[in-house]
Amino acid sequence: MNEIMYRPEDCGKEIINSRGKKVKIRKYHMTEIEMIKTRKRWEEDIKDVSQETINKAGALFFNPYRKGIYYYQIKSLFLLGSNEWHNLNSIMKKLSKIMSSVVIVRNNVEITMWEVFRNRSYQLNAHRSKDFLGKVQENMVFFQRLSMLHPSGYKLRQVCSAVDIKRTAKKGFINGLYFYRLSTYSDIDKAFPTRDYTEYIFPKHERKYVNYKFIGRTITRDKEIFRGILQ
């Protein structure tokens, strides 16, 4: 099955997945009422943020996720500056600072959201366990997903935004360095994520990563693919 981009009107429909099984398309979008409530919560949360930072994101953007790691990752990119590239180290510093300021009570003990996240990111003996750094990077990829069955980034598209990923080459870093950007747009039709490899030289042993199923823009040194179509 070739997955297509998620559409809210398809929610609840039955389709055949890649394994030949009949599945229902789950809800990944916000309704109009949910968008109003979510925007109001976001505006309350950023009431003390500078107007300059808010203006960088534009009037259409607000954080579409519930208060959890997704929410705080998007907030970190927003506070660092929308439509600008930020390295992983800067993002982690901002993320830990924000989440360390949020205290909750677990089993009658006060604990910060950052401690909760770090403690549960790594699961002993898990088949595909990741530490907190790996989980943050994995989430950045989740934000880019717009496919019919797993559109974890569709809410970002609803607020005319996308998370972009850039991989660059640097001596001493075998896998390169990663940068991330919260991009905002003037309308939803322009809001597609980007994977930028223009500053990365793929090692001979590594297959050049160009995903034709990626619903967004992939840019390498010698080609550009948008929504699976070579430009």
Return the higher-pLDDT residue of 188 and 16: 188
Residue 1 belongs to some domain of the structure: no
Q: What tens digit of pLDDT does each residue of 25-83 get? A: 999 999 999 999 999 999 999 999 999 999 999 999 999 999 999 999 999 999 999 99
pLDDT at residue 128 is higher than 80: no
Mind listing the pLDDT tens digit for each residue in 157-201? 999 999 999 999 998 888 889 999 999 999 999 999 999 999 998
Domain encompassing residue 36: 8-230
Q: Is the pTM of this model over 0.85?
A: yes
Instruction: Indicate the residue type of 154.
Output: Y
How many whole angstroms separate alpha carbon 70 and alpha carbon 17? 26
Cβ-contact 162, 193 below 8 angstroms = yes
Rounded Cα distance between 169 and 176, Å, is: 5
Domain membership of residue 190 (yes or no) is yes
pLDDT reading at 206 higher than 70:
no
Please state the domain count of the chain: 1
CA atoms within 13 A on the CB side of 94: 18
